[in-house]
Amino acid sequence: GSHDSFSFYIDEASPVGPEQPETVQNFVSVFGTVAKKLMRKWLATQTMNFTGQLGAGIRYFDLRISTKPRDPDNELYFAHGLFSAKVNEGLEEINAFLTDHHKEAVFLDFNHFYGMQKYHHEKLVQMLKDIYGNKMCPAIFAQEVSLKYLWEKDYQVLVFYHSPVALEVPFLWPGQMMPAPWANTTDPEKLIQFLQASITERRKKGSFFISQVVLTPKASTVVKGVASGLRETITER
């Protein structure tokens, strides 16, 4: 799996995402493009596009969706601090891979939504229908989902949707079926202890689960390594 899967492309010309705190908004309003270039070093958690990630073996995608403020088209974008690619473009890219590889299956985890109203969710659900159609596996008991089962039914996509909307649509798996506890630490040893404890607890629960093998920078970490970025300051640990 990949974390903030879409962040290989972050648009430095885009506005700051609506989920960002006022301090970040103010920083960008004062320093403009320079601030966004620095932000990109901390926001881009991937260097490959979806096709590259799929070729490298990634089958779980962590997807965070946002509208842009004052966008007349009500377009949906991937977002992580700044906006990334349009959602339909990314989903089409994944679908092209699946069409060429009939025995491959992917998990799409829509776990954060920013600035989205009911009609935005309806638009996203329709987009999933239009792109993936009968490739999507309806929500059933997690224990029943094996590769053999998916191959027999010609299913290739499991969509997890962390919103009450999931309860209304048969092909959306509720978010609690893909829990992703977060250690929120910069210390590798604390991260490993957290992961070991959470795996033991979650094996009994009858759901899929994520082990977030990622360190998370604090504000002080960013300030100290502001020019070097996420990879040098945190990831290599």
Catalytic-role residue among 3, 102, 112, 121: 3
Catalytic-role residue among 80, 102, 112, 121: 80
Tokens of 205: 């629960």
Residue positions counted in the chain: 237
Contact in structure between 76 and 65 (CB atoms under 8 Å): yes
E strand spans, 68-213: 76-80, 82-86, 106-114, 157-161, 172-174
Q: What does residue 110 show for φ and ψ, rounded to 5 degrees?
A: -85, 95
Is position 121 annotated as part of the catalytic site?
no
Is position 120 annotated as part of the catalytic site?
no
Tokens of 87: 């959602």
Provide the 3-class DSSP secondary structure of residue 122.
helix
d(CA 217, CA 184): 8
d(CA 3, CA 61): 7
- Per-residue b/e over 212-226, b at no fewer than 16 CB within 10 Å? bebbebeeebbeebe
* Residue among 145, 17, 142, 135 nearest 83 (CA): 17
DSSP secondary structure of 17-44: PTTS-HHHHHHHHHHHHHHHHHHHHHH-
List, by residue number, the catalytic residues: 3, 80
